[in-house]
Amino acid sequence: MADVAAPPYRTIPIIPALKPGSMEDVRSFVANDKINEALGFPGQLVEDWHDKAIAKMGELLTKYRSLKVYMDACVHCGACSDKCHYFIGTQDPKNMPVARQDLMRSVYRRYFTLPGKLFPKLVGARDLTREVLDEWYTYFHQCSECRRCSVFCPYGIDTAEVTMAAREILDSVGYGQKYANEIIGKVHRIGNNLGLPGPALNDTLEGLEEDVKDATGIDVRFPIDVKGAEVLLITPSADFFAEPHIDSLIGYAKVFHATGTSWTLSSMASEAGNFGMFIGNYDQLRTIALRIREAALELGVKRIVVGECGHAWRVAYSFWNTLTGVGDGADETDRFAQMLQKQLDHRYKQPMHICEFTWDLIERGALSFNKEANDKHIITFHDSCNVARGSRMGDFAGGQFEIPRNIIKAVANNFVEMAPETTREQTFCCGGGGGLLTDDLMDLRVKGALPRMEVLQQVVDEHGVNFMATICAICKAQFTKVMPIYGFDRRMVGGVHQLVSNAIILGDK
Amino acid sequence: MNMASILIAILFYFATLMFVVGLFYRINTYARTPAPLKIPTTPAPTTQSGVVLRMTREVVFFESLFKANLWIWSMGWLFHASLALVLMRHLRYFTEPVWGWVALIQPIGMYAGLTMLLGLLGLWARRLFVERIRYISTPSDHLMLLLLIGIAVSGLVMKFVAHTDVIAVKSFFLGWMQLSIGTLPGDVVLYFHLLSVVALLAIFPISKLLHAPGVFFSPSRNQADNPREKRHIAPWAAGLEK
């Protein structure tokens, strides 16, 4: 990616001047017939796309209260206008959250509100023309659905909901995105986003066992499809072979090993990621999530634990109970959910994040660490957007911020925070989330990383930080690719369980 | 009784009807539209009483806006708080005898008219002079502010510059509530003030003023963060399991 240059850091982080149209030519590749049809979408843009799109919008407005309220409630106050990392990095005004929403809101007003029908110019209403549809495609694939804008909106308007609806409409008229739809196809066909078939997965896991044996002299197992195991681990498929993801997978395995937990992976559900959320399609979201339910029922596990993956954790934590019954508190008469919930062990949270799992064991004194093993690292933590603003860990609001940090501090001696207006609930997206982690959007990804890179540079300069821990497969992949463009070493980014893996004392079990 | 009074009285009936029916219709739509997924912006309260507290902070103090931008927050909050006081002060035109607390806040309500105007001007300045906000503003955004500024200025003019016969105005509205149309003072500023309010009432349920009921129905703010503890499922989504 030699042709993509990093934008300069802002000397004073003021709000940038507008550069209208600066990103209008950055368009993610459109999906072909084969990719779309595999998901049941029209192969190409249909003839009557206008009527179909408006009808789909009308349908979504009756199915999603979020969309209905968010279309009406915005007052154009501008609170969100400087909060999006893509706006900060690109200066394109259509990347301001409110302007992005207005791409759809203008059409909503034209077709679904009285003033928009009568006086379109006055209220900023527009016909859905081919140009508008193209603009939707372009700019709704420049949103990573990170929800940072929704933190600041006085009505909680969440652009992610609007982006999801827009992508759902685009898919319904045959105008889907190649990257996300191709990956969803792979999940259905092969079982995971990376298209790693069962035999290859088994080989990889065997290889890992040998690697860990060579490195530690201990037989740490990576079991798969073990019936009757206590824990089913659902993790992003990147953990199986991408760097630095794999080091965290080793970390999870070591935690299970050190505590003698019986666990298993599943070849049927060898993917925590769920791109159905990114394209806003409830059926896809549900179908992909149902694999976890099936695997859990088939293997008879008592607990379901989720590996380091941001959007997957949002789907698991916030949506799995709704979609699949993985959770607690289903109605007595709810046979679908009860079938699974009766099997699960409700002394533990269902599902549970691997960080909750590890932190719980640390608190109970079940794990011991050689913290000095991480002394070569001066560590900071990047909160991943979907974990920070779309989920929780532990028993209290904000546990998703404390628990990963607590783990880092328990396994390492040097921890530094980045600027508070860029962490926790105000964290910036890595720039590659929400179905944008594709090479055809490299320009956008590099620019979108700007706000995070600026504050990382600060702690590098002031504290000598040389490791940025994060708990998201997409963050890890995005940063490894983008950080060199900003002059950082790609190995600076890694998982929290990578640090756990470095420091954990395994004994001789 | 004169033509102007009759016209204004009738327009007020229509506007009130549009306001009440329109708002009821909208609120009903929001309430009946399902929220199929748990999407509170986290960290969020884990209990229903926590949600009530979050919503109260949001509606009374504009908590999220405070985090976002102090200019919009200070001007927006000043305007809304002042408007609330001004509205309460105006209850004296519709009650006889005037309720004790309404009488009590009369002096504060008077100055609230001024701070309301100040807030509106501050918000409009932002819309006019900040490039980003100008970019996202539609003509109706400007007109809405102008309408409110018009209402505030005409009200203030009647209070501080050219007094109108408030006793006559009051008896007009007391009668109006009993469906008996009386006579308004023949005052152009008063007509302007009242007609602007008519316009505001009428457009309320079809405009961005829907942010007022909307905030209460915003799933990112009104949902408790307890998806693991309790299964949440919308009727249309439950249908997929049959």
Residue of B nearest to A389 (CA): B42
Q: Which residues in chain B are closer than 8 Å to A400, comparing Cβ atoms?
A: 42-43
| Helical residues (DSSP H) of A173-309, grouped into ranges | 178-190, 198-216, 245-258, 282-299
Give residue limits of the domains in chain B.
3-35+66-209
Full strand arrangement of the beta sheet holding A352-353: A263-264, A231-234, A303-306, A352-353
pLDDT digits over A116-155, tens only? 999 999 999 999 999 999 999 999 999 999 999 999 999 9
Cβ A321–B37 below 8 Å, yes or no?
no
Give me the pLDDT at residue A12, please: 67
* Separation CA B218–CA B125 (nearest Å): 28
| Residues B22-46: tens digit of each pLDDT | 999 999 999 999 999 999 999 999 9
Please give the model's pTM, rounded to 2 decimal places. Answer: 0.96
Query: Which pLDDT belongs to residue A262?
Result: 97
A327 and B30 in contact by Cβ < 8 A? no
Q: CATH code for B3-35+66-209?
A: 1.20.950.20
CB proximity A303 to B under 8 Å: no
Residue A81: which of B123, B132, B234 has the nearest Cβ? B132
Q: Virtual CA dihedral for A354, A451, A148, A84, nearest 10 degrees?
A: -140
**ipTM value of the model?**
0.96
Kindly determine whether residue A425 and residue B43, on different chains, have CB atoms separated by under 8 Å.
Answer: yes
CB contact under 8 A, A68 and B29: yes
- For B193-217, the pLDDT digits (tens) are 999 999 999 999 999 999 999 999 9
Task: For Cα atoms B145, A83, A109, give the angle at the middle one, nearest 5 degrees.
Answer: 45
Could you give the 3-state DSSP secondary structure of residue A415?
Answer: strand
- Point out which residues pair with A467 in neighbouring strands: A379
Q: Which residues of A touch B133 (CB under 8 A)?
A: 76, 78, 81
Where chain A has pLDDT below 50, the residues are: 1-2, 509
A65: chain B residues, CB-CB within 8 Å = 30, 33-35, 217, 219
Q: Using CA atoms in the order A233, A238, A241, A247, what is the torsion angle rounded to 10 degrees?
A: -70
Inter-chain touch A75–B211, beta carbons under 8 Å: yes
Percentage of residues of chain B with pLDDT beyond 70: 100
What's the rounded mean pLDDT across residues B77-103? 96
Residues B62 and A412: their CA atoms lie apart, in Å, by 40
Gap between the Cα atoms of B241 and A321, Å rounded? 13
**Please, which residues bridge with residue A265 across strands?**
A224
Residues of chain B in contact with residue A61, where contact means CB-CB under 8 angstroms, are 33
CATH no. for A33-182: 1.10.1060
Q: Measure B70 CA to nearest chain A CA, in Å.
A: 9
Contacting residues of A for B30, CB less than 8 Å apart: 65, 68-69
3-state secondary structure of B153: helix
